[in-house]
Every structure is written in C-alpha cells, then in structure tokens.
Structure 1
Amino acid sequence: MRILVRTSKLAIWARRLALFAAALILISAGLHYFGQITADVFEISLAIGTVCGALAFLIGIAAYVRLWFTGDRGWGPASVGFFLGLVCLAPAGMALTLSEIYPSTADVTTALVDPPQLVEARPNESEIDSETVLASFPNLITRIYQLPPETLFSLGQSLARANGWEILSSTPPTETSTGQLNALRHSLLGFENEIAFRVAPNPIGALIDLRAASLHPVYHDLGDNGRAIEAFLLALDDRVSTYIQNNMAQPVPDQLPVPQTELAPGEETDAQ
C-alpha cells in the first residue's frame, strides 16, 4: 500500500506571502529612492509589505507545527516564509526602535528664536520639545568661529556639496550682512529633507545656525534630520580646525644671528 505524502498548503502560502512582501518592499524602496513614486505611495506599499511579511512569518510557524505532526512535505517553503517574513519585518522593527531612541526632528534648528528660512519645505506643525532634542543631540547648538563670514560660508558650502546635497539657493555673506544656503538632502530610503544654514558676522568672527525640515509633513522622522545636521556640524568643526592650522597659524621665526661688530685696534687683545 502506497502512502500519499502531500505538500503542506500552509508552507506554500507562507512562501508566497514572503516572496510577495520582499518584492513589494524592495521595488517600492527603489522606486521611491529614484523619485518614481511619492512618499505616500511608498509608505502604503511599505505597510502592505510589512503586514504580508508578518503573515508569512506566522503562517511559517503554523506550517512547522503541522509538518511536525503530519509528516507532510514543505519544510523548505515553510523556512522561506518564516525567515524571509522575519526579514520583511526588520524595517518596521528598526523604525519602532529609532522612534523610542530619538525624538522627532521633523523640523529642528539650532536657532530657536529666529531659525533660518526654508525655501521648499513647509514648517512642521508638530510640537518638538527643544530640551528633549538637545538631550539626544547635544551638538545641535550655534557655532561661533574665529573666521571671516565669507570663509565660514565657503567651508559650509563645500561640505554640503561633498555630502551630495542639491543646492537650492546660495547667498554669500559679507563682513556686515548675513548669508544663507538652502539645500535638498535625500535620506537612505529616499525621503527628501531641506537643510538650511545661515552665516552671520560676529564680533570675534562668524556664527552659523542650521535648520533641517522634512519636505513633506511627517509625524516622526525617527531622528533623521537631527543626525544629519549634527554630523554636518561635527564635520564642519574638523574643517574649520584644519583650515586654521593650514592658513592662520603663525610660523615661529628662526633665531636671528647675533650681529658682529668690528673691534677697534687693541680691543681684540683685551677681549682675549
């Protein structure tokens, strides 16, 4: 008598859902990064992919249990559904972790009273506690450097270009006027953020303030803007230090030789 061994339908569906979820997340992420779909469409696709990944993960567990007791085939498809579904849950898990670690910095600045003006981004209406932001990002404070405003602006602009930011507008400062630069930054997942920095003259040199805002209103940016401008300020500190060392450090003059004077006749004998 031949025993019929069947392939578990749970295992098959676990694999199907996992493959669909992975394809949906990867394709939508790529399209969003290259600007082919809007942020809203990407977020909906990411949510659907996450739900399908969770279902694949749970159905994969159910398939394991059924295969253990029935002896049916399907361990391979069940494993694909289980592990690939778990991978599809990673973005959601990372987002939850970052939202617990960082406060929202959807619109964050180092100048709370008079922040730099935005060109394309709309000010975020959600309330952001400045003390909480400063506790998570202690380097988000106004910088004052002993440099001419034009030099500081040039260093900041070159750093923005080195970061791959798209310059939207640029108005250099003078010794008596303020200058500002606005740039567009793309995050790793393709979300657009506007970065603005303002350089103003100061009695001891120049000061710089920054502002970062999500181009489209979001409830929580997972601290992305805060990390971006904090990294910018730290890199600017290094560039300013290097500039001062290379261009403004005064060399120590060599010791000048002692001038020789001619001795009158008879003085040489006395000196000896």
Structure 2
Amino acid sequence: MKARFIRQQAPAAPWCRRGAFFSLTLFLVSGAGHRFGLLETVPFFWLLGIAGALSLASLVLGGIALVQVWEHGSSGASVAAGGIFVAVIALTPYGVSAYRFFEHPPLMDISSDLDDPPKMPLAAGARTGAMNALVDATDENRDLQHSEYPEIAGRRYEHTAEKVVEVVHLMMEERGWQPKGMSKAKLAGASVTLEGLAHSYFLGFPADVAIRIEDDQTATFVEMRSASRYGRHDLGDNAARIKRFLNELDERLALLAAV
C-alpha cells in the first residue's frame, strides 16, 4: 500500500474566512436596514461596532493563518487570502470614515449665519434624549467653522421672496426632506423658515435642516443650517450638504433670471 501525505489546513484559515464574510454581511444588512428606516440609529451604532471588530479579528486571523502555512507547511493559504480580502472590503468604510474624521473639524451643527442661525422649533420637539441637543454655537465652534469652512455663507438674491420660497420648497421635496413650516402669507419685510429631515447618502444618518428666507423689501436673503441628530462629529456631512444646496439654489435662480 502507498502512503498518502495529507497536508493539514491551518486552523486559523477557515475562521478568518467565516468571520470576514459574517462581518461583511452584518455591515451590509444593518446598513441597508438603517438606510431605509428599518433599524434605529443607536442599535445600528452597536452593530457597526460589532461588524468592525469582527472584520479586524478576521484580518488578524488571516495573518496568523498565513504564518501557520509558512512555518508548518499547512494548506489554507488561499482560504486565508480570500478571508483577508473580504475583511479589507468590510473595513474600507471604516477607513474612509477615519480619514474624514481627521480631515474635517469636530462639528455637528453648521450654519451659514453663526450670529443668528435659523431656528429649528420642529426639530427640537422631535429630538429625544439620545439625540444631540440643539444649542447655540460656542465661540470655539464659531471660530472653528470660520477657519475650516469659510465658504459657508448666506445668499442674497434679487428675486422676490415668494419665488425663492417656491424654489427652496421644491428642492427640499426633490431631496426627500419633507419641508414643513411654509407660510402662505406675503413675505414683504418678513421671513419664513422651512424645516426638513435629511439623511446621509450611504448609511442614512439623520440631520435636521432649516432654511430661512427673509425679505427686507430690497432683496431676499437665504440662510441655511444643518445639524446632525447623533454623534459629536459629522465627518463633514453638514457643511457639504449646505454647500451643495446653496450652490444648486444659485444655479436655479440664475436660470430664472435669464428667462
């Protein structure tokens, strides 16, 4: 009889692959559930932490498996490599978030008017104890926003306030922000604030937005505020949201003026 030599698989290899696939599946399923409103934000934070920890553990197990293959001549290198690849994919969003954490200032409430930010009475009533409180910006946060986001500024238009309100309301509806607080009254010498609820594009983290349209009988002024409901760092989302909205508002009103 001929003896057959069977190489033993590195013990860490299958665990690396199992953990990597499970963490990626957990991230995708919980992320989709939160994005579409099926999962609350606080439990989602816990699931994100578990998925991230499992991905890191899988990466470590993959490294151990490769060492076992090298030192003992075990099989399982391809299994470990596949697990490492999947774990890296699962960790990519965490890496992007870490980069944005250090790239952007630790702010979670951004306004184009820091001296008199648009009020958010509807948002304040909807926020629970687990959410960030809506408070006035500190001097430190004002200085930080001025230095990091100098381009965040209000707008002045020659259009009537009623026309600006109409365009702003339409843009909020198109984004799914469900605008509330619109006044049907004439705005001569007065102001109106529209509030809505926005979500981050990828994972759907909620942020309250408020847009104030004010008429001083010579021009129409627009100020915008965006405040995250959770977390002490918005990773730059609020500033980006305001910039995108106001830039598009500029374009739409410029087209109306050209007609």
Interval containing the TM-score (normalised by the shorter chain) = 0.7 to 0.9
Residue 30, structure 1, aligned to residue 32, structure 2? yes
Which of 205, 221, 227 is the matching residue for 1:191? 205
Letter in 1 for 2:77: W
Structure 2 counterpart of 1:200, which letter?
Answer: E
Tell whether 2:178 aligns with 1:166: yes
Partner Cα distance (1:225, 1:35) in 2: 20
The answer on 1:157 being equivalent to 2:157 is no
Pair 1:155–1:190, CA change in 2 (3 A):
same
The two structures have a TM-score, normalised by structure 2, of 0.88
Distance between the aligned counterparts of 2:180 and 2:62, measured in 1?
Answer: 49
Deviation at 1:124, TM superposition (A): 5.2
Q: Which amino acid aligns with 1:230?
A: K
Give the drift of 1:209: 0.8
Q: After the TM superposition, which segments of 4 or more aligned residues of structure 1 sit over 4 Å from their partners? A: 124-128
Measured after TM superposition, the shift of residue 125 of structure 1 is: 7.6
Matched position secondary structure for 1:190? coil
Matching residue within 55, 71, 74 for 1:72: 74
Match of 1:229 among 242, 250, 257: 242
Change (3 A) 1:221 1:240: same
Q: Does 1:211 find its partner at 2:222?
A: no
Q: State the one-letter code of the partner of 1:238.
A: E
Cα displacement string for residues 133-160 of structure 1 (whole angstroms, at most 9, x for unaligned residues):
2343333112111111111111111121
Q: 1:11, 1:155 → 2: CA distance?
A: 57
Which runs of 5 or more residues in structure 2 are unaligned? 125-132
Greater C-alpha radius of gyration: 1
Aligned runs of 1:1-272 on 2, under 5 Å? 1-118=3-120, 119-121=122-124, 122-123=133-134, 127=138, 129-172=141-184, 174-188=187-201, 189-214=203-228, 216-246=229-259
CA distance in structure 2 between the aligned counterparts of 1:167 and 1:154, rounded to whole angstroms: 11
CA distance in 2, matches of 1:29, 1:132: 31
| Matched residue count | 245
Percent identity over the alignment? 27
Report the residue type matching 1:224 in the other structure.
D
Question: Take 2:175 and 2:48, find their aligned partners in 1: how far apart are those partners?
Answer: 27
- Given that residues 18 and 85 in structure 1 are in contact (C-alpha distance below 8 angstroms), is that contact kept between their aligned partners in structure 2? yes
Unaligned stretches of 5+ residues in structure 1: 247-272
- The one-letter amino acid of 2:123's match is E
RMSD (Å) for aligned C-alpha atoms: 1.8
Distance 1:217 1:43 in 2: 10
Q: Is the 8 A contact 1:106 1:213 kept in 2?
A: yes
CA separation in 2, counterparts of 1:158 and 1:139? 24
* Partner-residue secondary structure (3-state), 1:85: helix
Per-residue Cα deviation, 1:141-183 (whole angstroms, up to 9, x for no partner): 1211111111111111112122232223322551122111111
Contact 1:196 1:212 (8 Å CA) reproduced:
yes
Q: CA deviation at 1:206?
A: 0.6
Aligned residue number for residue 268 of structure 1: none
Q: Which segment is superposed worse, 233-242 or 98-107?
A: 98-107
In the aligned structure 1, how far is the partner of 2:214 from the partner of 2:100?
34
1:129 match: secondary structure: helix
- Distance in 2 of aligned mates of 1:236 and 1:63: 55
**Paired letter, 2:253:** V
CA deviation string 1:181-236 (max 9, x = no partner): 1111121211111111011113531101111112x342111111111011101111
* More displaced stretch, 20-29 vs 79-88: 79-88
